[in-house]
Structure 1
Amino acid sequence: MSAPRIQLLLLAKAPVPGRVKTRLCPPWTPEQAARLAAAAIADTVDVLAATPAVARTLVVDGPLPAPPGWHRREQRGDGLGPRLASAFADTARRGVATLLVGMDTPQLGVAHLVAAAAALSRADAVLGPAEDGGWWTLALRDPSAATVLTDVPMSTPDTYALTRSALHRRGLRVATAATLRDVDTAPDATAAAAARPDTRFAALLSTMAPVGAAR
């Protein structure tokens, strides 16, 4: 099986105070949390822009423009699972695989995405586990397979396992990408910054007050 042509999707929420990264408050204010979210988005955009692909699309909830040269689609659907499924459906291109990432892994590197895309040469899907039991990327040779996400509970400790099972039930061969840590809490933020100290996210975090106990 040869490696397919691939497009990249970034699922993101506009960095509006009080609407993003609320679990970072405390120790930070909603405004600071929104600034961290904006930095994470910018870092992820840089990585996707440097990764070979036939197209890149920002799939967004809220008032956030697409980077130059990117496409933009509004998120649609009631709940994260349907929104993920719609992101794949709304951007599908004939003969092109789709790799989706979120805005929660500012430590992401080009090598992570290149490896995940290459794994499609031996699999129908590639799923990247997150340390909290979720997943940070899903790549599909056939984007229509993302319909299985509609019924998968998201943001739970079992989301990765349930997603993998749903893909297997559809008859797909699933490869595993590297494990990363989503930034949901203050300890997550410090760990992500330590993993990639060269990012905007890490630079911004270093200017903020010391981290206290996250709620």
Structure 2
Amino acid sequence: MTATTTLLVIAKEPRPGRVKTRLTPPFTPAEAAALAEASLADTLRAVAATPARRRVLVLAGEPGPWLPPGFDVVPQCAGGLDERLADAFAGCAGPALLIGMDTPQVTPDLLDVDFAGCDAYFGPAEDGGFWALGLSRPEPALLRGVPMSSPVTGAVQRERLLAAGLRVRELPPLRDVDTAADARAVAELAPHGRFAARLAACTAAGEQRAACTPAGEQRAAR
């Protein structure tokens, strides 16, 4: 990647009840938020280690101690996710690559893209969405109206790029962390990160809770 590229991370402040709600159960809302914070911290660390002209956190909420130095923080706009992604690109004057906070296994090597010979980068997610989108000339209209959080999100977004005549280069598919099964699979891919460590701690806490809960209450909870 050249130093002319902007790296964008779109994220939510990791607060209980606002993030990773599909992790509850088996985890508590506080544990789900702690896992989201660890995922975001690992993501930001990878971005910080990648050469870039500018690093921007597009945030819903307020920054916390998990934010490393070297990032500009801008608020997300109102509207659906397609509008918020489009607005993030609208603030870029040159090549930009956008990722989310749900792939803590991401590495600087994956983010070190070169737009020579292509107009766009597309990183498909295993659930049918996408984990990365790069545009050599950011055009917000390419994202507006794309159905988000759908099994066809990635296919529709990629077709938008091709229909606009862009030369698209593929990034490897990655798995988003949405469920407990996702969390375990991703932690195995990045066993030395903050996310894996936090998952191990939350899993141990859950096992301890289960051990301390009478069998009758466990059956009632089901």
Compute the TM-score of the two structures, normalised by the length of structure 2: 0.87
Partners in 2 of 1:88 and 1:161 — Cα distance?
A: 20
Whose RCO is larger (CA < 8 A, sep 6+)?
A: 1
Question: Which of residues 181, 200, 203 is equivalent to 1:206?
Answer: 200
Which residues in structure 2 correspond to 1:1-215 (within 5 Å)?
5-65=4-64, 67-90=68-91, 92-93=92-93, 96-114=94-112, 117-118=113-114, 120-143=115-138, 145-209=139-203
Query: 1:4 touches 1:141 (CA, 8 Å); kept in 2?
Result: no
Partners in 2 of 1:77 and 1:170 — Cα distance?
A: 26
Query: 2:45 touches 2:68 (CA, 8 Å); kept in 1?
Result: no
- The alignment of Structure 1 onto Structure 2 pairs a total of residues equal to 204
Q: Which SS does the other structure have where 1:151 is aligned?
A: coil
Query: 1:130 touches 1:136 (CA, 8 Å); kept in 2?
Result: yes
Partners in 2 of 1:197 and 1:203 — Cα distance?
A: 8
Q: Deviation per CA, 1:38-72, whole angstroms, max 9, x where unpaired?
A: 00111011100000001101100011255322111
Q: Structure 1: which 5+ residue stretches go unaligned?
A: none
Q: How far does residue 77 in structure 1 lie from its aligned partner after superposition?
A: 3.1
Q: How far does residue 167 in structure 1 lie from its aligned partner after superposition?
A: 1.2
Query: 1:4 touches 1:121 (CA, 8 Å); kept in 2?
Result: no
Q: Which SS does the other structure have where 1:207 is aligned?
A: helix
Q: Which SS does the other structure have where 1:122 is aligned?
A: coil
Q: How far does residue 3 in structure 1 lie from its aligned partner after superposition?
A: 6.5
Partners in 1 of 2:141 and 2:170 — Cα distance?
A: 20
Q: Structure 2: which 5+ residue stretches go unaligned?
A: 208-222
Partners in 1 of 2:168 and 2:84 — Cα distance?
A: 21
Partners in 2 of 1:4 and 1:124 — Cα distance?
A: 17
Partners in 1 of 2:10 and 2:185 — Cα distance?
A: 22
Partners in 1 of 2:52 and 2:131 — Cα distance?
A: 18
Q: How far does residue 170 in structure 1 lie from its aligned partner after superposition?
A: 1.6
Q: Which SS does the other structure have where 1:45 is aligned?
A: helix
How many percent of aligned residue pairs carry the same amino acid? 49
Q: Which SS does the other structure have where 2:30 is aligned?
A: helix
Q: How far does residue 121 in structure 1 lie from its aligned partner after superposition?
A: 1.6
Query: 1:126 touches 1:174 (CA, 8 Å); kept in 2?
Result: yes
Q: Which SS does the other structure have where 1:181 is aligned?
A: coil
Q: Deviation per CA, 1:92-136, whole angstroms, max 9, x where unpaired?
A: 12xx3100110000011111111xx12x22210000000000000
Partners in 1 of 2:151 and 2:15 — Cα distance?
A: 27
Partners in 2 of 1:64 and 1:82 — Cα distance?
A: 21
